[in-house]
Structure 1
């Protein structure tokens, strides 16, 4: 989906409970990762696409910069693609673990999520109706099969909503975002 399609979908869903839930979840996502946002999928489905969108949005909302945690990173992978499950053992207060699971979460995933929760990480889940996984979460957004959006569309809605202006943002941040939109981001 391109930005125009996402905006159209958001407009079509603007008055629905799903969009209200998505915005609420996105606010929690923005505010929960004060130090690091860990993004984890299932062994069969790593959330690459969502990681890329959150990374794009982090230009405007730095808290959205994700660390993609992989089940089995290949040897020699670039550093941003080589973070393995051992990173979850170091999860702590001030960090958020965002779990994306379109299907039922396997037991090893549930165990790791529970461990991260016990060490103080905020647990957020985007799931397809897994009650066990949602039960471990501090906040969950469930995408029902056969609902108004697909799981992929829900990921786009979450990343877009997470980048929305926060009403508490200061004038300096709003001006910087406007300048980036007009002239493009400043390259380091």
Structure 2
């Protein structure tokens, strides 16, 4: 699987800046930032690799936007995994109002749909990054659909979402984010 670096994501965002794809990504990112007051749960499909790469990017962005701190929920956490990688479906069953569930899956098998529906019934806000699965999108409060024939791949969309969600507003650019990062690491510069 091909991975994008920050420069490639910035370039892709610049290319798509005035496109409908980027407008939809911004809308979804705003919803993602504002939906999880208590916890942001992140879940993939049971037959696919866990969306750990997106979890890592959201965790990075959470330095600036704390509501993006994800809890990766795994279908089959390996025995002896560190606590942050050992969160299983029991956590999803305990989802409640004030929490958000971000589902990252191109297609949704029935077992995934059941879990998402259960979380919705207990009050969690459901967000989906999907490949056009109508049943999954129907369960979502907010959905971002990545079409196979669209301008970005499913993986690229995940990078766009995490980078866009990490912005405080739609007006802040890379320089502002870098300055805030440097202030967080070294402290504000004295005049």
**How does the TM-score come out when normalised to structure 2?**
0.89
Distance 1:10 1:72, change over 3 A: same
Cα distance, 1:183 vs structure 2? 6.6
Cα distance, 1:79 vs structure 2? 0.3
Show the 5 A alignment for 1:62-141.
62-102=66-106, 104-141=107-144
Q: How many positions carry a matched residue from both structures?
A: 180
Conserved 8 A contact 1:91-1:121: yes
Consecutive unaligned residues of structure 2, counting only runs of 5 or more, are 171-175
Consecutive unaligned residues of structure 1, counting only runs of 5 or more, are 168-174
Match of 2:39 in 1: 36
Identify the range of structure 1 (111-120 vs 175-184) with the bigger mean alpha-carbon deviation.
175-184
Match of 1:143 in 2: 146
> Could you tell me how far apart the structure 2 residues matched to 1:15 and 1:98 are?
25
* Per-residue CA distance 1:113-169 (angstroms, 9 max, x = gap): 0010011000000001100000000000000002100000000000001011237xx
1:166 aligns with 2:155: no
State the Cα RMSD in Å: 2.1
Match of 1:180 in 2: 181
**How does the TM-score come out when normalised to structure 1?**
0.90
> Could you tell me how far apart the structure 2 residues matched to 1:127 and 1:51 are?
16
